[in-house]
Amino acid sequence: MKKRILLLAGGQSGEHEVSLMSARSVLNALPRDQFDVTPVVISKQGRWLPPTETQRALDSGEAPTGGDLVLHRAASAEGYDAVFPLLHGPMGEDGTVQGLLTLAGIPFVGSGVLGSAVSMDKIMTKQVLASAGIPQVAWALAVRREWQAQPDTVRERAAALGYPLFVKPANLGSSVGISKVSSAEELDGALDLAFSLDRRVILEAMTAHKPREVEVGILGNDAPIASPVGELRFDADFYDYETKYTEGRASMHIPAPLPTEVADQIRSLALRAFRALDCAGLARVDFFYVEETGELLLNEVNTMPGFTTTSMYPKLFEAAGLNYSALVTRLVELALEER
Ligand code: ATP
Ligand code: MG
Ligand code: MG
Ligand code: MG
């Protein structure tokens, strides 16, 4: 019997288009002799699109308006063996869709409500990882109301971290809404931008030097494995949206040229983080390696990382001997595994 898979893509976050790219790759790769795959694109308004509109959105790369309310469509998810929620960012990677699927009793690829919600929120992630003893940059929290009512307290918090610093919406990805702030004059604009996208914002001290950016893939449920370590190199001040998604702006190096002890430490810290955050299925764990000081700092955990055939996560497992189509098959198996 073929397994029936519902592939969710698009979604309401700033990473809608990135998700559509990932979904096209997964659709092509799930072996048709084993899987019967139905894609459903979720519009930017959060509506689940019927088949013809879904196809149009996948082809054109942009979702039209229209579609059905989530709850109406969720009922028709019945009869699927598993769901692949290939959604990035809020309302997809943050436990909301995972909660809906849990209530509906349908197995799904990736982390559950807890792991998804905590990992999506950069502040909660930092708190959990700090209590697990995992090294990270210094940081501070700010909420929108505070920024509106007592901006000076937020400015003081930033000054205490020192410049340059990074300002980020707590719940987003693809560098959307992130600014590198070099001096106090640039702070207000960066906070306004981040608060236009999220109620909670994180201020992060910048690493002591421009860091090397190294990433590792984790695959599994309660006995997860780590991939080789990969490195991203790019010619930009930091890894912003444009650098991420403009062809030829960044290059991937797998395995990353690192001393063996450093690569081993990255893998072991990543596995510890995966467990501490109660992740499942997959995650891409990103680190800063400050070569000048030898510091290794965990930056973030992405529970639904970019998933095109040329994205880092699939490339890391390809280097470990698991090709793209075997990887997506494995992810569905993990979704169906008893835990
Ligand atoms: P993703 O697309 O991987 O989900 P994201 O939107 O969650 O990314 P971050 O990874 O937190 O964003 O930050 C984006 C980039 O900004 C990093 O890859 C790095 O280049 C730079 N950066 C962020 N925080 C810091 C920091 N504290 N010190 C130095 N560089 C940083
Ligand atoms: Mg991220
Ligand atoms: Mg992300
Ligand atoms: Mg990142």
pLDDT tens digits along 147-160: 999 999 999 999 99
**Residue 86 near residue 26, CB atoms below 8 Å:** yes
- 261 confidence band (pLDDT: 50, 70, 90): very high
Fold assignment, 119-134+209-336: D-amino Acid Aminotransferase; Chain A, domain 1 (3.30.470)
Q: Out of 111, 116, 174, 227, which one is annotated catalytic? A: 174
Which pLDDT band, with edges at 50, 70 and 90, does 242 fall under? very high
For the stretch 283-293, pLDDT in tens is 999 999 999 99
Q: What is the DSSP letter of 215?
A: E
Asked about 174 being catalytic, the answer comes back as: yes
**Residues sharing a CB contact under 8 Å with residue 266, sequence separation 6 or more, in sequence order:** 214, 216, 229, 258, 287, 289, 296
253 CA to centre of own chain: 20
Give the residue-averaged pLDDT of 201-214.
Answer: 97
In the predicted model, is pLDDT for residue 73 greater than 80? no
State residue 64's pLDDT score.
73
pLDDT for the residue numbered 22: 95
DSSP reduced 3-state for 86: coil
Token pair belonging to 246: 């403009």
Closest to 218 measured CA to CA, from 289, 72, 119? 119
Domain boundaries, the chain: 3-108, 119-134+209-336, 139-205
| N-term to C-term CA, the chain | 23
| Tokens encoding 216 | 């590792």
Q: CATH homologous superfamily of domain 139-205?
A: ATP-grasp fold, A domain (3.30.1490.20)
The per-residue pLDDT of the chain, averaged, comes to 94
Q: Which of 229, 151, 228, 240 is nearest to 189 (CA)?
A: 151
Residue 241 Cβ contacting ligand 1 at under 6 Å:
no
Average pLDDT of 106-131? 98
Of 66-70, 71-75, 131-135, 248-252, least confident by mean pLDDT is 71-75
Contact 270, 279 (CB under 8 A): no
Query: 125 CB under 6 A from ligand 1?
Result: no
> What's the fold here for domain 3-108?
Rossmann fold (3.40.50)
Question: Rounded to an integer, what distance in angstroms lies between the CA atom of residue 123 and that of residue 143?
Answer: 11
Cβ–ligand 1 distance for 317 under 6 Å, the answer no
Which are the contacts of 15, defined by CB distance < 8 A and separation ≥ 6?
A: 88, 89, 172, 173, 174, 176
Mean pLDDT of 16-42: 94
Q: Is the pLDDT of residue 334 over 90?
A: yes
pLDDT at 251 over 90: yes
- Mutational test site, ligand 1, from 178, 212, 293, 307, max ligand atoms within 8 Å of CB: 178
Q: How far apart (Å, rounded) are the C-alpha atoms in residues 256 and 306?
A: 19
Report the C-alpha gap between 200 and 184 in whole angstroms.
20
- The Cα 69–Cα 218 span in angstroms is 34
